[in-house]
Structure 1
Protein backbone atom coordinates (compact mmCIF):
# COMPACT_ATOMS: atom_id res chain seq x y z
CA UNK A 1 0.00 0.00 0.00
CA UNK A 2 1.35 3.43 -0.96
CA UNK A 3 2.38 5.90 1.66
CA UNK A 4 -0.24 8.72 1.98
CA UNK A 5 2.54 11.27 2.38
CA UNK A 6 4.17 10.15 -0.88
CA UNK A 7 0.82 10.34 -2.68
CA UNK A 8 0.26 13.86 -1.38
CA UNK A 9 3.74 14.97 -2.48
CA UNK A 10 3.18 13.42 -5.89
CA UNK A 11 -0.13 15.22 -6.35
CA UNK A 12 1.40 18.50 -5.26
CA UNK A 13 4.18 18.09 -7.82
CA UNK A 14 1.64 17.68 -10.61
CA UNK A 15 -0.83 20.41 -9.69
CA UNK A 16 0.78 23.81 -9.91
CA UNK A 17 -0.81 27.18 -9.34
CA UNK A 18 -1.52 29.11 -12.53
CA UNK A 19 0.60 32.13 -13.39
CA UNK A 20 -1.51 35.30 -12.97
CA UNK A 21 0.12 36.96 -15.98
CA UNK A 22 -0.49 33.91 -18.16
CA UNK A 23 -4.11 33.75 -17.00
CA UNK A 24 -4.53 37.46 -17.81
CA UNK A 25 -3.38 37.02 -21.40
CA UNK A 26 -5.55 33.92 -21.81
CA UNK A 27 -8.59 35.90 -20.63
CA UNK A 28 -7.74 38.71 -23.04
CA UNK A 29 -7.44 36.27 -25.92
CA UNK A 30 -10.77 34.66 -25.01
CA UNK A 31 -12.51 38.05 -25.00
CA UNK A 32 -10.86 38.95 -28.29
CA UNK A 33 -11.84 35.64 -29.86
CA UNK A 34 -15.49 36.18 -28.99
CA UNK A 35 -15.51 39.63 -30.59
CA UNK A 36 -16.58 39.01 -34.19
CA UNK A 37 -15.58 42.43 -35.53
CA UNK A 38 -12.12 42.09 -33.96
CA UNK A 39 -11.70 38.68 -35.57
CA UNK A 40 -12.70 40.10 -38.95
CA UNK A 41 -10.17 42.89 -38.49
CA UNK A 42 -7.48 40.38 -37.47
CA UNK A 43 -8.25 38.23 -40.53
CA UNK A 44 -7.95 41.26 -42.81
CA UNK A 45 -4.64 42.28 -41.21
CA UNK A 46 -3.25 38.77 -41.65
CA UNK A 47 -4.44 38.80 -45.27
CA UNK A 48 -2.72 42.16 -45.90
CA UNK A 49 0.49 40.90 -44.30
CA UNK A 50 0.45 37.78 -46.47
CA UNK A 51 -0.12 39.89 -49.58
CA UNK A 52 2.70 42.24 -48.59
CA UNK A 53 5.14 39.35 -48.02
CA UNK A 54 4.23 36.87 -50.74
CA UNK A 55 2.14 38.92 -53.18
CA UNK A 56 5.04 40.39 -55.20
CA UNK A 57 6.18 36.86 -56.10
CA UNK A 58 2.81 36.10 -57.69
CA UNK A 59 1.89 39.45 -59.25
CA UNK A 60 1.12 38.99 -62.96
CA UNK A 61 3.08 42.06 -64.11
CA UNK A 62 5.88 44.31 -62.98
CA UNK A 63 4.39 47.32 -61.13
CA UNK A 64 6.26 49.86 -63.26
CA UNK A 65 6.04 48.25 -66.70
CA UNK A 66 4.35 50.68 -69.08
CA UNK A 67 2.16 49.72 -72.05
CA UNK A 68 0.86 52.88 -73.67
CA UNK A 69 -1.16 50.89 -76.22
CA UNK A 70 -3.33 49.49 -73.40
CA UNK A 71 -3.64 52.53 -71.13
CA UNK A 72 -6.86 53.17 -69.16
CA UNK A 73 -8.19 49.71 -69.97
CA UNK A 74 -11.15 48.61 -67.81
CA UNK A 75 -10.93 45.47 -65.64
CA UNK A 76 -10.60 42.31 -67.72
CA UNK A 77 -9.22 38.79 -67.58
CA UNK A 78 -5.78 40.12 -68.56
CA UNK A 79 -5.82 43.02 -66.12
CA UNK A 80 -8.09 42.24 -63.17
CA UNK A 81 -8.18 45.84 -61.91
CA UNK A 82 -7.56 47.46 -65.30
CA UNK A 83 -4.64 49.68 -66.30
CA UNK A 84 -3.72 53.28 -65.46
CA UNK A 85 -2.84 56.19 -67.70
CA UNK A 86 0.59 54.69 -68.43
CA UNK A 87 -0.75 51.22 -69.17
CA UNK A 88 0.55 49.80 -65.90
CA UNK A 89 -1.37 46.92 -64.30
CA UNK A 90 -3.27 48.33 -61.30
CA UNK A 91 -3.66 44.94 -59.62
CA UNK A 92 0.12 44.40 -59.60
CA UNK A 93 0.74 47.93 -58.35
CA UNK A 94 -1.71 47.50 -55.47
CA UNK A 95 -0.02 44.24 -54.48
CA UNK A 96 3.42 45.87 -54.42
CA UNK A 97 1.98 48.93 -52.67
CA UNK A 98 0.69 46.81 -49.78
CA UNK A 99 4.19 46.33 -48.42
CA UNK A 100 4.94 50.05 -48.71
CA UNK A 101 1.74 51.06 -46.92
CA UNK A 102 2.15 48.58 -44.07
CA UNK A 103 5.84 49.40 -43.69
CA UNK A 104 5.10 53.10 -43.34
CA UNK A 105 2.26 52.41 -40.88
CA UNK A 106 4.16 50.00 -38.63
CA UNK A 107 7.52 51.76 -38.67
CA UNK A 108 6.14 55.25 -38.01
CA UNK A 109 3.99 54.02 -35.12
CA UNK A 110 6.86 51.96 -33.69
CA UNK A 111 9.16 54.98 -33.76
CA UNK A 112 6.57 57.37 -32.33
CA UNK A 113 5.45 54.89 -29.65
CA UNK A 114 9.02 54.21 -28.54
CA UNK A 115 9.93 57.87 -28.12
CA UNK A 116 6.53 58.85 -26.69
CA UNK A 117 6.49 55.99 -24.19
CA UNK A 118 9.99 56.80 -22.98
CA UNK A 119 9.14 60.48 -22.52
CA UNK A 120 5.85 59.63 -20.81
CA UNK A 121 7.47 57.26 -18.31
CA UNK A 122 10.23 59.74 -17.47
CA UNK A 123 7.71 62.54 -17.09
CA UNK A 124 5.34 60.56 -14.90
CA UNK A 125 7.98 58.89 -12.76
CA UNK A 126 10.21 61.84 -11.94
CA UNK A 127 7.61 64.63 -12.05
CA UNK A 128 8.55 68.15 -11.02
CA UNK A 129 10.15 70.56 -13.46
CA UNK A 130 11.12 67.78 -15.88
CA UNK A 131 7.48 66.73 -16.08
CA UNK A 132 6.41 70.31 -16.78
CA UNK A 133 8.98 70.79 -19.55
CA UNK A 134 8.13 67.53 -21.33
CA UNK A 135 4.38 68.00 -21.09
CA UNK A 136 4.48 71.59 -22.30
CA UNK A 137 6.43 70.45 -25.35
CA UNK A 138 3.80 67.76 -25.92
CA UNK A 139 1.04 70.36 -25.57
CA UNK A 140 2.68 72.46 -28.29
CA UNK A 141 2.71 69.46 -30.65
CA UNK A 142 -0.89 68.59 -29.76
CA UNK A 143 -1.97 72.12 -30.62
CA UNK A 144 -1.59 71.20 -34.28
CA UNK A 145 -3.83 68.61 -35.97
CA UNK A 146 -1.83 65.47 -36.71
CA UNK A 147 -2.07 65.62 -40.49
CA UNK A 148 -1.19 69.35 -40.56
CA UNK A 149 1.82 68.78 -38.32
CA UNK A 150 2.98 65.91 -40.55
CA UNK A 151 2.37 68.07 -43.62
CA UNK A 152 4.50 70.88 -42.19
CA UNK A 153 7.34 68.52 -41.27
CA UNK A 154 7.36 66.83 -44.68
CA UNK A 155 7.28 70.24 -46.36
CA UNK A 156 10.43 71.18 -44.47
CA UNK A 157 12.25 67.85 -44.88
CA UNK A 158 11.16 67.18 -48.46
CA UNK A 159 8.94 64.57 -50.06
CA UNK A 160 10.02 60.94 -49.54
CA UNK A 161 8.82 57.84 -47.72
CA UNK A 162 11.52 58.20 -45.05
CA UNK A 163 10.45 61.76 -44.31
CA UNK A 164 6.81 60.65 -44.20
CA UNK A 165 7.69 58.05 -41.57
CA UNK A 166 9.56 60.67 -39.52
CA UNK A 167 6.72 63.18 -39.82
CA UNK A 168 4.00 60.71 -38.77
CA UNK A 169 6.18 59.45 -35.92
CA UNK A 170 6.71 62.98 -34.58
CA UNK A 171 2.99 63.72 -34.76
CA UNK A 172 2.22 60.55 -32.76
CA UNK A 173 4.75 61.14 -29.96
CA UNK A 174 2.55 63.43 -27.79
CA UNK A 175 -0.36 60.96 -27.91
CA UNK A 176 1.74 58.08 -26.58
CA UNK A 177 3.52 60.36 -24.11
CA UNK A 178 0.27 61.51 -22.48
CA UNK A 179 -1.18 57.99 -22.30
CA UNK A 180 2.04 56.60 -20.81
CA UNK A 181 2.39 59.43 -18.31
CA UNK A 182 -1.14 58.92 -17.00
CA UNK A 183 -0.63 55.17 -16.62
CA UNK A 184 2.76 55.71 -14.96
CA UNK A 185 1.26 58.09 -12.39
CA UNK A 186 -1.33 55.44 -11.48
CA UNK A 187 1.19 52.60 -11.12
CA UNK A 188 3.69 54.81 -9.32
CA UNK A 189 1.27 55.23 -6.41
CA UNK A 190 0.99 51.49 -5.75
CA UNK A 191 2.51 50.09 -2.57
CA UNK A 192 4.87 47.62 -4.20
CA UNK A 193 6.66 50.51 -5.98
CA UNK A 194 7.31 52.12 -2.59
CA UNK A 195 8.52 48.74 -1.33
CA UNK A 196 10.98 48.44 -4.22
CA UNK A 197 12.32 51.92 -3.47
CA UNK A 198 12.71 51.00 0.21
CA UNK A 199 14.70 47.90 -0.78
CA UNK A 200 17.10 50.11 -2.73
CA UNK A 201 16.07 49.22 -6.28
CA UNK A 202 17.39 51.61 -8.91
CA UNK A 203 15.08 53.88 -10.87
CA UNK A 204 15.98 52.03 -14.07
CA UNK A 205 15.00 48.69 -12.58
CA UNK A 206 11.72 50.06 -11.21
CA UNK A 207 10.81 51.72 -14.50
CA UNK A 208 11.60 48.89 -16.89
CA UNK A 209 10.90 45.87 -14.70
CA UNK A 210 7.94 46.96 -12.60
CA UNK A 211 6.23 49.99 -14.19
CA UNK A 212 6.53 49.42 -17.92
CA UNK A 213 5.16 45.82 -17.93
CA UNK A 214 2.04 47.09 -16.11
CA UNK A 215 1.26 49.91 -18.55
CA UNK A 216 1.63 48.06 -21.85
CA UNK A 217 -2.11 47.50 -22.37
CA UNK A 218 -3.11 51.09 -23.31
CA UNK A 219 0.07 51.46 -25.36
CA UNK A 220 -0.69 48.36 -27.43
CA UNK A 221 -4.28 49.47 -28.01
CA UNK A 222 -3.27 52.98 -29.01
CA UNK A 223 -0.52 51.68 -31.31
CA UNK A 224 -2.95 49.39 -33.13
CA UNK A 225 -5.49 52.16 -33.60
CA UNK A 226 -2.86 54.68 -34.65
CA UNK A 227 -1.59 52.43 -37.45
CA UNK A 228 -4.88 53.17 -39.23
CA UNK A 229 -4.25 56.90 -38.75
CA UNK A 230 -0.69 56.48 -40.02
CA UNK A 231 -1.94 54.70 -43.17
CA UNK A 232 -4.39 57.52 -43.82
CA UNK A 233 -1.77 60.20 -43.19
CA UNK A 234 0.79 58.53 -45.43
CA UNK A 235 -1.77 58.11 -48.19
CA UNK A 236 -2.85 61.73 -47.81
CA UNK A 237 0.72 63.04 -48.01
CA UNK A 238 1.40 60.90 -51.08
CA UNK A 239 -1.85 62.12 -52.60
CA UNK A 240 -0.55 65.68 -52.23
CA UNK A 241 2.77 64.72 -53.81
CA UNK A 242 4.77 64.95 -50.57
CA UNK A 243 5.10 61.24 -49.88
CA UNK A 244 6.12 58.44 -52.21
CA UNK A 245 7.50 59.78 -55.46
CA UNK A 246 6.72 58.37 -58.95
CA UNK A 247 6.83 55.63 -60.05
CA UNK A 248 6.55 54.10 -56.54
CA UNK A 249 3.28 52.09 -56.37
CA UNK A 250 1.95 53.72 -53.20
CA UNK A 251 -1.84 53.70 -52.76
CA UNK A 252 -2.18 57.42 -52.04
CA UNK A 253 -0.06 58.34 -55.06
CA UNK A 254 -2.11 55.94 -57.22
CA UNK A 255 -5.29 57.57 -55.97
CA UNK A 256 -3.88 60.97 -56.87
CA UNK A 257 -3.08 59.78 -60.40
CA UNK A 258 -6.61 58.45 -60.83
CA UNK A 259 -8.45 61.61 -59.82
CA UNK A 260 -7.96 63.01 -63.34
CA UNK A 261 -9.81 60.07 -64.88
CA UNK A 262 -12.85 59.73 -62.62
CA UNK A 263 -15.30 60.13 -65.51
CA UNK A 264 -13.76 58.09 -68.32
CA UNK A 265 -11.78 55.55 -66.20
CA UNK A 266 -13.01 55.51 -62.59
CA UNK A 267 -11.30 52.17 -61.87
CA UNK A 268 -7.91 53.93 -61.75
CA UNK A 269 -8.90 55.66 -58.50
CA UNK A 270 -11.49 53.17 -57.26
CA UNK A 271 -9.26 50.19 -56.49
CA UNK A 272 -6.48 52.10 -54.63
CA UNK A 273 -9.21 53.85 -52.63
CA UNK A 274 -10.79 50.52 -51.71
CA UNK A 275 -7.38 49.19 -50.63
CA UNK A 276 -6.90 52.16 -48.28
CA UNK A 277 -10.40 51.71 -46.85
CA UNK A 278 -9.84 48.00 -46.20
CA UNK A 279 -6.50 48.59 -44.44
CA UNK A 280 -7.84 51.40 -42.24
CA UNK A 281 -11.01 49.48 -41.41
CA UNK A 282 -9.03 46.35 -40.49
CA UNK A 283 -6.81 48.11 -37.95
CA UNK A 284 -9.71 50.11 -36.50
CA UNK A 285 -11.84 46.99 -36.01
CA UNK A 286 -8.99 45.05 -34.44
CA UNK A 287 -7.96 48.00 -32.27
CA UNK A 288 -11.50 48.44 -30.94
CA UNK A 289 -11.58 44.74 -30.10
CA UNK A 290 -8.26 45.00 -28.28
CA UNK A 291 -9.54 47.96 -26.28
CA UNK A 292 -12.58 45.99 -25.16
CA UNK A 293 -10.47 42.91 -24.38
CA UNK A 294 -8.00 44.85 -22.22
CA UNK A 295 -10.80 46.64 -20.35
CA UNK A 296 -11.40 44.70 -17.09
CA UNK A 297 -14.89 46.22 -16.80
CA UNK A 298 -16.04 44.97 -20.21
CA UNK A 299 -18.59 42.21 -20.24
CA UNK A 300 -18.33 39.14 -22.42
Structure 2
Protein backbone atom coordinates (compact mmCIF):
# COMPACT_ATOMS: atom_id res chain seq x y z
CA UNK A 1 0.00 0.00 0.00
CA UNK A 2 2.81 2.38 0.88
CA UNK A 3 4.59 1.64 -2.39
CA UNK A 4 1.39 2.28 -4.36
CA UNK A 5 0.92 5.63 -2.62
CA UNK A 6 4.50 6.60 -3.39
CA UNK A 7 4.13 5.63 -7.05
CA UNK A 8 0.92 7.64 -7.45
CA UNK A 9 2.52 10.64 -5.76
CA UNK A 10 5.55 10.34 -8.02
CA UNK A 11 3.40 10.19 -11.15
CA UNK A 12 1.43 13.23 -10.02
CA UNK A 13 4.63 15.19 -9.48
CA UNK A 14 5.89 14.21 -12.92
CA UNK A 15 2.68 15.50 -14.44
CA UNK A 16 2.66 18.78 -12.53
CA UNK A 17 6.38 19.59 -12.70
CA UNK A 18 6.44 20.27 -16.48
CA UNK A 19 3.62 22.82 -16.07
CA UNK A 20 5.46 24.53 -13.23
CA UNK A 21 8.70 24.52 -15.18
CA UNK A 22 6.93 25.96 -18.22
CA UNK A 23 5.49 28.79 -16.11
CA UNK A 24 8.94 29.47 -14.67
CA UNK A 25 10.42 29.57 -18.16
CA UNK A 26 7.77 32.02 -19.35
CA UNK A 27 8.31 34.24 -16.32
CA UNK A 28 12.10 34.12 -16.81
CA UNK A 29 11.77 35.20 -20.44
CA UNK A 30 9.30 37.94 -19.55
CA UNK A 31 11.45 39.19 -16.69
CA UNK A 32 14.50 39.44 -18.94
CA UNK A 33 12.56 41.72 -21.32
CA UNK A 34 12.96 45.11 -19.64
CA UNK A 35 10.60 46.92 -22.00
CA UNK A 36 7.85 44.37 -21.36
CA UNK A 37 8.37 44.63 -17.60
CA UNK A 38 8.22 48.42 -17.84
CA UNK A 39 4.95 48.10 -19.74
CA UNK A 40 3.59 45.66 -17.14
CA UNK A 41 4.52 47.98 -14.28
CA UNK A 42 2.80 50.88 -16.04
CA UNK A 43 -0.35 48.80 -16.61
CA UNK A 44 -0.43 47.82 -12.94
CA UNK A 45 0.03 51.48 -12.01
CA UNK A 46 -2.82 52.51 -14.31
CA UNK A 47 -5.14 49.90 -12.78
CA UNK A 48 -4.32 51.11 -9.26
CA UNK A 49 -4.90 54.73 -10.31
CA UNK A 50 -8.21 53.81 -11.95
CA UNK A 51 -9.39 52.06 -8.77
CA UNK A 52 -8.01 54.37 -6.07
CA UNK A 53 -7.32 57.68 -7.82
CA UNK A 54 -10.91 59.01 -7.97
CA UNK A 55 -11.26 58.40 -4.23
CA UNK A 56 -8.20 60.53 -3.46
CA UNK A 57 -9.04 63.55 -5.61
CA UNK A 58 -10.91 66.39 -3.94
CA UNK A 59 -11.92 68.38 -7.02
CA UNK A 60 -15.11 67.61 -8.90
CA UNK A 61 -14.06 66.68 -12.48
CA UNK A 62 -17.40 67.88 -13.87
CA UNK A 63 -17.93 71.13 -11.98
CA UNK A 64 -16.92 74.28 -13.94
CA UNK A 65 -14.97 77.09 -12.29
CA UNK A 66 -15.07 80.14 -14.54
CA UNK A 67 -12.68 82.18 -12.39
CA UNK A 68 -9.86 79.64 -12.95
CA UNK A 69 -10.42 78.84 -16.62
CA UNK A 70 -7.49 78.37 -19.03
CA UNK A 71 -4.78 78.40 -16.36
CA UNK A 72 -1.46 76.76 -17.16
CA UNK A 73 0.21 74.05 -15.07
CA UNK A 74 1.01 75.24 -11.55
CA UNK A 75 1.25 74.08 -7.96
CA UNK A 76 -2.52 74.37 -7.57
CA UNK A 77 -3.35 72.76 -10.91
CA UNK A 78 -0.61 70.32 -11.94
CA UNK A 79 -1.88 69.96 -15.51
CA UNK A 80 -3.65 73.32 -15.65
CA UNK A 81 -7.36 73.93 -16.23
CA UNK A 82 -9.54 73.73 -19.33
CA UNK A 83 -11.85 76.29 -20.92
CA UNK A 84 -14.46 75.64 -18.19
CA UNK A 85 -11.97 75.97 -15.33
CA UNK A 86 -11.98 72.23 -14.55
CA UNK A 87 -8.79 70.64 -13.22
CA UNK A 88 -7.27 68.62 -16.08
CA UNK A 89 -5.26 66.39 -13.73
CA UNK A 90 -8.40 65.38 -11.85
CA UNK A 91 -10.24 64.73 -15.10
CA UNK A 92 -7.42 62.54 -16.40
CA UNK A 93 -7.43 60.52 -13.17
CA UNK A 94 -11.18 59.98 -13.41
CA UNK A 95 -10.87 59.27 -17.13
CA UNK A 96 -8.40 56.44 -16.42
CA UNK A 97 -11.18 54.22 -15.07
CA UNK A 98 -13.39 54.99 -18.10
CA UNK A 99 -10.57 54.22 -20.54
CA UNK A 100 -9.59 50.92 -18.91
CA UNK A 101 -13.23 49.94 -18.47
CA UNK A 102 -13.85 50.35 -22.19
CA UNK A 103 -10.61 48.64 -23.14
CA UNK A 104 -10.89 45.58 -20.89
CA UNK A 105 -14.63 44.97 -21.23
CA UNK A 106 -14.79 45.37 -25.01
CA UNK A 107 -11.82 43.06 -25.54
CA UNK A 108 -13.21 40.52 -23.05
CA UNK A 109 -16.57 40.37 -24.85
CA UNK A 110 -14.93 40.16 -28.27
CA UNK A 111 -12.54 37.48 -27.02
CA UNK A 112 -15.27 35.28 -25.53
CA UNK A 113 -17.43 35.38 -28.66
CA UNK A 114 -14.45 35.07 -31.00
CA UNK A 115 -12.97 32.11 -29.12
CA UNK A 116 -16.29 30.24 -29.16
CA UNK A 117 -16.83 30.86 -32.88
CA UNK A 118 -13.24 30.06 -33.77
CA UNK A 119 -13.01 26.83 -31.81
CA UNK A 120 -16.38 25.59 -33.10
CA UNK A 121 -15.37 26.47 -36.65
CA UNK A 122 -12.01 24.76 -36.41
CA UNK A 123 -13.27 21.67 -34.60
CA UNK A 124 -16.34 20.84 -36.68
CA UNK A 125 -15.25 22.24 -40.03
CA UNK A 126 -17.30 21.74 -43.22
CA UNK A 127 -20.41 23.92 -43.51
CA UNK A 128 -20.15 25.34 -40.00
CA UNK A 129 -16.60 26.43 -40.72
CA UNK A 130 -17.60 27.95 -44.06
CA UNK A 131 -20.50 29.96 -42.64
CA UNK A 132 -18.58 31.28 -39.63
CA UNK A 133 -15.41 32.15 -41.53
CA UNK A 134 -17.21 33.85 -44.40
CA UNK A 135 -19.04 36.01 -41.85
CA UNK A 136 -15.71 36.86 -40.23
CA UNK A 137 -14.28 37.72 -43.65
CA UNK A 138 -17.11 40.18 -44.23
CA UNK A 139 -16.34 41.90 -40.91
CA UNK A 140 -12.62 41.93 -41.67
CA UNK A 141 -13.27 43.57 -45.04
CA UNK A 142 -13.99 46.82 -43.19
CA UNK A 143 -11.21 48.71 -41.40
CA UNK A 144 -11.74 48.45 -37.65
CA UNK A 145 -12.30 52.14 -37.00
CA UNK A 146 -14.66 52.40 -40.00
CA UNK A 147 -16.73 49.44 -38.78
CA UNK A 148 -16.86 50.93 -35.29
CA UNK A 149 -17.92 54.29 -36.74
CA UNK A 150 -20.78 52.66 -38.61
CA UNK A 151 -21.98 50.71 -35.57
CA UNK A 152 -21.84 53.71 -33.23
CA UNK A 153 -23.53 55.90 -35.85
CA UNK A 154 -26.44 53.46 -35.92
CA UNK A 155 -26.63 52.83 -32.16
CA UNK A 156 -25.84 56.38 -31.00
CA UNK A 157 -22.93 57.91 -29.16
CA UNK A 158 -22.35 56.53 -25.67
CA UNK A 159 -19.77 54.53 -23.75
CA UNK A 160 -21.82 51.32 -23.86
CA UNK A 161 -22.29 51.61 -27.62
CA UNK A 162 -18.56 52.16 -28.06
CA UNK A 163 -17.94 48.94 -26.11
CA UNK A 164 -20.38 47.08 -28.37
CA UNK A 165 -18.74 48.47 -31.50
CA UNK A 166 -15.19 47.58 -30.40
CA UNK A 167 -16.35 44.12 -29.30
CA UNK A 168 -17.88 43.41 -32.70
CA UNK A 169 -14.81 44.34 -34.72
CA UNK A 170 -12.58 42.40 -32.28
CA UNK A 171 -14.51 39.14 -32.77
CA UNK A 172 -13.11 38.16 -36.21
CA UNK A 173 -9.51 38.68 -35.08
CA UNK A 174 -9.89 36.22 -32.21
CA UNK A 175 -12.01 33.84 -34.30
CA UNK A 176 -9.38 33.47 -37.03
CA UNK A 177 -6.52 32.99 -34.58
CA UNK A 178 -8.42 30.39 -32.55
CA UNK A 179 -9.61 28.55 -35.66
CA UNK A 180 -6.07 28.19 -36.96
CA UNK A 181 -4.79 26.94 -33.60
CA UNK A 182 -7.71 24.53 -33.26
CA UNK A 183 -7.07 23.05 -36.71
CA UNK A 184 -3.49 22.22 -35.72
CA UNK A 185 -4.34 20.84 -32.27
CA UNK A 186 -7.31 18.67 -33.23
CA UNK A 187 -5.07 16.55 -35.49
CA UNK A 188 -2.80 15.52 -32.63
CA UNK A 189 -2.82 11.93 -31.43
CA UNK A 190 -3.96 12.63 -27.89
CA UNK A 191 -7.19 14.21 -29.19
CA UNK A 192 -7.91 11.05 -31.21
CA UNK A 193 -7.16 8.95 -28.14
CA UNK A 194 -9.54 10.93 -25.94
CA UNK A 195 -12.24 10.72 -28.62
CA UNK A 196 -11.74 6.94 -28.88
CA UNK A 197 -12.27 6.66 -25.12
CA UNK A 198 -15.75 8.11 -25.59
CA UNK A 199 -15.19 11.74 -24.50
CA UNK A 200 -17.87 14.18 -25.66
CA UNK A 201 -17.11 17.05 -28.04
CA UNK A 202 -17.69 19.53 -25.23
CA UNK A 203 -15.10 17.81 -23.04
CA UNK A 204 -12.59 17.53 -25.86
CA UNK A 205 -12.96 21.20 -26.79
CA UNK A 206 -12.84 22.75 -23.32
CA UNK A 207 -10.63 20.24 -21.49
CA UNK A 208 -8.10 19.27 -24.13
CA UNK A 209 -8.07 21.77 -27.01
CA UNK A 210 -8.74 25.14 -25.38
CA UNK A 211 -5.98 24.86 -22.72
CA UNK A 212 -3.44 24.17 -25.48
CA UNK A 213 -4.33 27.24 -27.55
CA UNK A 214 -4.42 29.81 -24.76
CA UNK A 215 -1.04 31.36 -25.61
CA UNK A 216 -2.08 33.16 -28.83
CA UNK A 217 -5.37 34.16 -27.20
CA UNK A 218 -3.58 35.80 -24.26
CA UNK A 219 -1.15 37.60 -26.54
CA UNK A 220 -3.87 38.89 -28.84
CA UNK A 221 -6.03 40.02 -25.91
CA UNK A 222 -3.15 42.01 -24.43
CA UNK A 223 -2.37 43.74 -27.70
CA UNK A 224 -6.05 44.24 -28.47
CA UNK A 225 -6.59 46.37 -25.36
CA UNK A 226 -4.25 48.98 -26.83
CA UNK A 227 -6.28 48.99 -30.06
CA UNK A 228 -9.52 49.26 -28.08
CA UNK A 229 -8.25 52.25 -26.08
CA UNK A 230 -7.08 54.00 -29.24
CA UNK A 231 -10.37 53.31 -31.05
CA UNK A 232 -12.49 54.47 -28.11
CA UNK A 233 -10.49 57.68 -27.88
CA UNK A 234 -10.84 58.22 -31.62
CA UNK A 235 -14.61 57.76 -31.50
CA UNK A 236 -14.91 60.17 -28.57
CA UNK A 237 -12.69 62.66 -30.40
CA UNK A 238 -15.14 62.53 -33.30
CA UNK A 239 -18.08 63.05 -30.96
CA UNK A 240 -19.43 59.50 -31.27
CA UNK A 241 -18.17 58.13 -27.97
CA UNK A 242 -18.38 59.50 -24.46
CA UNK A 243 -20.29 62.75 -24.43
CA UNK A 244 -19.28 65.96 -22.56
CA UNK A 245 -18.77 66.62 -19.75
CA UNK A 246 -17.60 63.00 -19.23
CA UNK A 247 -13.84 63.09 -18.51
CA UNK A 248 -12.93 60.69 -21.32
CA UNK A 249 -9.51 61.36 -22.81
CA UNK A 250 -10.60 61.42 -26.46
CA UNK A 251 -13.39 63.89 -25.66
CA UNK A 252 -10.95 66.02 -23.66
CA UNK A 253 -8.56 66.01 -26.59
CA UNK A 254 -11.34 67.12 -28.92
CA UNK A 255 -12.30 69.97 -26.59
CA UNK A 256 -8.70 71.14 -26.37
CA UNK A 257 -8.02 71.29 -30.11
CA UNK A 258 -9.64 74.75 -30.31
CA UNK A 259 -7.03 76.06 -27.85
CA UNK A 260 -3.96 74.29 -29.28
CA UNK A 261 -1.97 77.44 -30.03
CA UNK A 262 -2.76 79.63 -27.04
CA UNK A 263 -3.27 76.95 -24.36
CA UNK A 264 -1.66 73.71 -25.63
CA UNK A 265 -1.78 72.01 -22.20
CA UNK A 266 -5.53 71.36 -22.58
CA UNK A 267 -4.89 68.88 -25.42
CA UNK A 268 -1.32 67.92 -24.50
CA UNK A 269 -1.93 65.99 -21.29
CA UNK A 270 -4.94 63.91 -22.46
CA UNK A 271 -2.98 63.09 -25.62
CA UNK A 272 0.06 62.02 -23.59
CA UNK A 273 -2.16 59.86 -21.38
CA UNK A 274 -3.51 58.02 -24.43
CA UNK A 275 -0.01 57.54 -25.85
CA UNK A 276 1.44 56.18 -22.60
CA UNK A 277 -1.43 53.72 -22.00
CA UNK A 278 -1.34 52.40 -25.58
CA UNK A 279 2.46 52.14 -25.48
CA UNK A 280 2.38 50.24 -22.18
CA UNK A 281 -0.04 47.62 -23.49
CA UNK A 282 1.90 47.23 -26.73
CA UNK A 283 5.21 46.77 -24.93
CA UNK A 284 3.74 44.26 -22.51
CA UNK A 285 1.89 42.41 -25.28
CA UNK A 286 5.07 42.08 -27.33
CA UNK A 287 6.91 40.74 -24.29
CA UNK A 288 4.18 38.21 -23.53
CA UNK A 289 4.22 37.06 -27.16
CA UNK A 290 8.00 36.52 -27.06
CA UNK A 291 7.80 34.73 -23.70
CA UNK A 292 5.06 32.36 -24.84
CA UNK A 293 6.61 31.58 -28.21
CA UNK A 294 8.12 28.08 -27.93
CA UNK A 295 10.36 28.76 -30.93
CA UNK A 296 12.29 31.40 -29.00
CA UNK A 297 14.98 30.10 -26.67
CA UNK A 298 15.79 31.83 -23.41
Q: TM-score range by the shorter chain?
A: over 0.9
User: Out of 149, 152, 155, which is 1:157 matched to?
Assistant: 155
Aligned residues: 292
CA distance in 2, matches of 1:98, 1:181: 34
Q: CA deviation at 1:23?
A: 1.7
Matched with 1:167 is 165
TM-score norm. by structure 2 comes to 0.95
Q: CA deviation at 1:90?
A: 0.2
User: Out of 261, 264, 275, which is 2:262 matched to?
Assistant: 264
Matched with 1:297 is 295
CA distance in 1, matches of 2:153, 2:179: 30
Matched with 1:204 is 202
Deviations 1:41-71 (A, max 9, x none): 0010011011101101112411012111111
1:137-152 matched pairs, under 5 angstroms: 137-152=135-150
Matched with 2:100 is 102
SS in structure 1 at match of 2:211? helix
Q: CA deviation at 1:246?
A: 1.0
Matched with 2:91 is 93
Matched with 2:185 is 187
CA distance in 2, matches of 1:200, 1:106: 38
TM-score norm. by structure 1 comes to 0.95
1:1-300 matched pairs, under 5 angstroms: 16-17=13-14, 18-300=16-298
Q: Which 5+ residue runs of structure 1 have no aligned equivalent?
A: none
Q: CA deviation at 1:218?
A: 0.1
CA distance in 2, matches of 1:57, 1:274: 23
Q: CA deviation at 1:295?
A: 0.5
Q: CA deviation at 1:16?
A: 4.5
CA distance in 1, matches of 2:18, 2:127: 37
